[in-house]
Amino acid sequence: MSQNTPDKDDQSSTNKKAISLPISRVRLIMKSSPDVSCINQDALFLTTKATELFVQHLAVASFNNGPGKETNSLCYTDLANAAEETETFHFLTDILPKKIFARDYLQSLEQMQENDNDDDPDF
């Protein structure tokens, strides 16, 4: 029944490996959550598999939003945009903050301070 393809690094579509992520590492990450005591084997498998799906999902979603500056190249900004625009990925916005240049930030800061000075307290 098992047609073994011994190549572990075979990246072609004929690769028959079931899972491409190390389960032990997944367990380690799971156990780092507070109050987690025991993890069922099924749960571990499902989480590992789901993680694969997640990586695919995130990569495709970010890529489809339009690769950033360079054509056809997925970069950090694409990921940050996807996190903000796709509701499913909202939980990533804290670790995927958008980047701006320092000078833009400082300019905006100055502008905001000016706006504060101009505002009349009318409520």
Partner 1 sequence: MDGDSSTTDASQLGITGEYMASGHYVLQSQDDDGEENLNDHDDGGIKENFREQDIYLPIANVARIMKNAVPQTGKIAKDAKECVQECVSEFISFITSEASERCHQEKRKTINGEDILFAMSTLGFDMYVEPLKLYLQKFREAMKGEKGIPGVAVGDGLGDELTDDSFTNPLPAGIITADGQQQNVMVYTTSYQQIPTVQQIQFS
Which residues between 20 and 59 bind partner 1 (CB under 8 A)?
20-26, 28-30, 32-47, 49-59
Nearest 5°: the CA angle 61, 56, 48 is 140
Task: Enter the tokens of residue 66.
Answer: 């339009």
CB of 59 to partner 1, least distance (A): 4
Which residue type, as a one-letter code, is found at position 105? Y
Answer whether 83's CB lies under 8 Å from 92's CB: yes
Tell whether residue 7 is a contact of partner 1 (CB under 8 A).
Answer: no
CB of 13 to partner 1, least distance (A): 6
Tell whether residue 114 is a contact of partner 1 (CB under 8 A).
Answer: no
Calpha distance 12→9 (Å, rounded): 9
Binding to partner 1, residues 74-93 (CB under 8 A): 74-76, 78-79, 84, 86-88, 91-93
